[in-house]
C-alpha cells in the first residue's frame, strides 16, 4: 500500500482516538475508540509491522469488544 494512504490511516486513527476523549456516552466512546484502534493496527501493519503500535492497540480492541458485548447482555 502506498505510504500516503498509510499516513492517512494513521491520521484517521489519531482523530478517532482524540474524538473518543471528547464524547460522554460510554458506548459511543468504546465504539469510536475501537475504530481508532483498528485503524492503528492497520497503520502498524502497513508501516512495516510496527509491533509497538500493533500489540497495544490490538489488546485495546479486544477489551473494547469485550465491554461492548458484556454491556449488551446486562
Q: Which three-class secondary structure string do you get for 7-66?
A: HHHHHHHHHHHHHHHHCCCHHHHHHHHHHHHHHHHHHHHHCCCCHHHHHHHHHHHHHHHH
For residue 6, the 8-state DSSP code is H
Residue 10: its pLDDT value, please?
A: 97
Residue 6: its pLDDT value, please?
A: 95
- Segment 24-72, tens digit of pLDDT: 999 999 999 999 999 999 999 999 999 999 999 999 999 999 999 999 7
Per the model's pLDDT, the better-predicted residue between 72 and 6 turns out to be 6
Mean per-residue pLDDT for 11-26? 97
Residue 74: its pLDDT value, please?
A: 65
Amino acid at each position: 500500500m502506498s505510504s500516503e494512504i498509510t499516513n492517512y490511516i494513521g491520521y484517521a486513527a489519531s482523530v478517532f482516538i482524540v474524538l473518543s476523549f471528547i464524547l460522554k456516552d460510554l458506548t459511543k466512546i468504546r465504539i469510536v475508540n475501537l475504530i481508532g484502534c483498528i485503524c492503528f493496527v492497520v497503520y502498524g501493519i502497513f508501516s512495516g509491522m510496527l509491533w509497538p503500535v500493533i500489540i497495544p492497540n490490538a489488546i485495546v480492541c479486544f477489551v473494547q469488544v469485550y465491554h461492548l458485548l458484556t454491556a449488551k447482555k446486562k
